[in-house]
Structure 1
Amino acid sequence: MSGAEVLDFGRDAIWITVLVAAGPMIVGLVVGLVVSLLQTLTQIQEQTLVFVPKILAIFFAILLFLPIMGGLLGGFTNTIFERIAAF
């Protein structure tokens, strides 16, 4: 296995990690922004208020995106096994 193939594995692994994490992270960002905006508008300065909606939103986002994330990780795993078998 050459150095270029190892770099391809690493690049693909980082890209799959970004794709898998993007959905829940974007949902958490949007919910945090909305809650912070509501806190600013109502002048409620409770620090722990943002955590419960954000945790619930991320949990439901993971449930929603789980088939997509599983498909990406499964496809990447199959690709790795095919490359190992070809080696």
Structure 2
Amino acid sequence: MDPQVVLDLYGQGFYLIVVIVAAVMAPSLVVGLIVSVFQAATQINEQTLSFLPRLIVTILVIMQLGPWILTKLMDFTTNLFINIPMMIG
């Protein structure tokens, strides 16, 4: 197996992980920013106030993007298993 093939596989896997995590975390970051602006405007310094909306948004995003995430992971894994003979030989 060529080292370049291994590096390409690591790169593809890392890119897939970054895309999936960004898709899940971006809405949570936006909600956290909105809640922080609200807290700054009203001077409410409650730590738990930003936790619950971010948790709810993250759970909703995972529920909505779950099939897409699973499809991406299955495509990557299937592609990896199909190409194993070509990578080894």
Q: Same fold judged by TM-score > 0.5?
A: yes
Give runs of aligned pairs for residues 8-23 of structure 1, distance below 5 A.
Answer: 8-23=8-23
* Range with bigger deviation, 47-56 or 77-86: 77-86
Separation (CA, whole Å) in 2 of partners of 1:23 and 1:7: 24
Separation (CA, whole Å) in 1 of partners of 2:27 and 2:85: 38
Q: Percent identity?
A: 36
RMSD: 0.9
Gaps of 5+ in 1: none
The number of equivalent residue pairs is 87
Give runs of aligned pairs for residues 1-87 of structure 1, distance below 5 A.
Answer: 1-86=1-86, 87=88
Separation (CA, whole Å) in 1 of partners of 2:37 and 2:64: 25
Consecutive aligned runs of 4 or more in structure 1 exceeding 2 Å deviation: none
* TM-score, scaled to structure 2: 0.93
Separation (CA, whole Å) in 2 of partners of 1:19 and 1:71: 13
> Secondary structure of the equivalent of 2:45?
coil
Instruction: Tell me the amino acid that sits aligned with residue 72 of structure 1.
Output: K
Q: Write out per-residue CA displacement over residues 46-80 of structure 1, whole angstroms, 9 at most, x where no aligned residue.
A: 11111011001000000111111111101100111
Gaps of 5+ in 2: none
